[in-house]
Chain A
Amino acid sequence: MEKWRLIPFKHFDPFENMAIDEAIFRADRQGEMPPTLRLYGWKKPAVSMGYFQNAEREINCEYCRDRGIDIVRRPTGGLAVLHGNDLTYSLVAGENSPHFSSDIIETYRIISECIISGLDKSGVKAEMVEKGRIERGPAGAFCFATSYRNELLVDGKKVCGSAQVRARDMFLQHGSLLIDFDPAAVCAAIMTKGMKAGTLEASVTSIRKSVGDNVGIGTLCRNIAAGFEEVLNIHLIEGSLSPEEETLRNGLLENKYRNVRWNMGRGAKSGY
């Protein structure tokens, strides 16, 4: 049975979280490391936005600053997420791994199946969006306001948002699984183009809404990991960053993710 690495759940600040994920993604250029699943939380509420988003136009920066909500730009695309009450995962693997594919939508589908299996073990019945929107909707900058094909719904409402970056035959997928959802806080922190909290509440749900407080974060993490093991027929072995990844993480943290030019400016043009 193929062995993958699992980096177990821990809380970090937003800059550390992105630096760790990108370090894992960048370090393995030769495909020598096994695919890596990392589960993590956020030390305090934070907004992550997609690579191409514009902080000034799409995030309420003043609101975030006043409340100590850090804003970080992800290496992955997609739209903004307010973290704090979510379980975030990152998955790094090769496009040519036997489990995945250069077909991007198919990769989303396979990962969604793993999450569905993990949620099922937690008593949450999730399903995949079979014919989701295939174009960006009118709902502004908030990730959960739009459901794309192969994303996850519970009771017809979105519960998990995801985004990918690819480079040189490797991919990094980010996903945020909502444990709790505060639509008013989202509307305050992220520009939702006039979409009110009540409207968001009608289209977004959370694990707590589905099964109450019955599932702790530890159990949820174990179940999600087990979902990946079952669906992909793999064995996840707990591990940590390699020395090369540690070095990369430290460099990315100081030079990129703690740098206001990366987070509030734009990516490639800023020379990163």
Chain B
Amino acid sequence: MSFPNDLLYSREHTWVRVDGDTATVGITDYAQDKLGEILSVELFPEDSSIEQGEPFGVIESLKVTTELISPVSGEIISVNEDLADDVGILNSDSYDTGWMIAVDIRDLGELDNLLNAEEYVDYVEEYEEVD
């Protein structure tokens, strides 16, 4: 499993790529592996206002339906339309072509609540141990 160093991560297993005031958001390699084959995803549309720790969509795999929890607050400025054609890229390329939404970040200070790659790996390992 890979966790690129240039990303931030949430405890709800999303990643964030920050560029100025814009955050690109997707699910981590760990999340896609846990979900198994992803069948559908439904994301809040452009211009939706979303909150850190609150849903921004729902994802369905063969095993389960799961809420997607936003790692940042702000306005959705773009949704990855390619997912409508091939949701499989969430499994095969979750950090790149499998991005989900781009968000105009409302409060950059909220990024402090997120984890770096090393912290996220520790978090995932701890999470697995609980099982």
Contact = CB atoms under 8 A, between A and B. Distances in A.
B65 A168 contact: no
A134 interface: yes
A108 to B, nearest CB: 8
Interface residues of B, number: 27
A252 to B, nearest CB: 15
Interface in A69-106: 75-78, 96, 101-106
Interface residues of A, number: 30
Contacts of B40: 52
B37 interface: yes
A191 B37 CA distance: 23
B42 interface: yes
B81 to A, nearest CB: 13
B45 A269 contact: yes
Interface stretch (A37-45, A59-67, A159-167, A228-236): A159-167
B62 A166 contact: no
B87 to A, nearest CB: 11
A135 interface: yes
A238 B43 CA distance: 39
A102 B34 CA distance: 8
Contacts of A101: 131
Contact of A77 (B37, B43, B65, B130): B65
Contact of A136 (B39, B55, B67, B127): B39
A208 B12 CA distance: 43
30 contacts: A50-B60, A50-B65, A51-B60, A52-B39, A52-B42, A52-B58, A52-B60, A77-B65, A101-B131, A102-B34, A102-B128, A103-B34, A104-B36, A105-B63, A106-B131, A134-B36, A134-B37, A134-B62, A135-B37, A135-B62, A164-B63, A165-B64, A165-B66, A167-B55, A167-B66, A168-B12, A168-B69, A267-B42, A268-B43, A268-B55
Given A96-B130, A102-B34, A268-B57, A136 B62 contact: yes
Report the 5 A-B pairs with minimum CB-CB distance, sorted nearest first.
A77-B65, A167-B67, A268-B42, A104-B63, A52-B40
Contacts, number: 77
A102 B39 contact: no
Interface string A145-183: 000100000000000000111111001000000000000
Contacts of B61: 77
A266 interface: yes
Given A104-B34, A267-B42, A268-B42, A77 B64 contact: yes
Interface in B85-124: none
A241 B11 CA distance: 30
B34 A51 contact: no
A52 B59 CA distance: 9
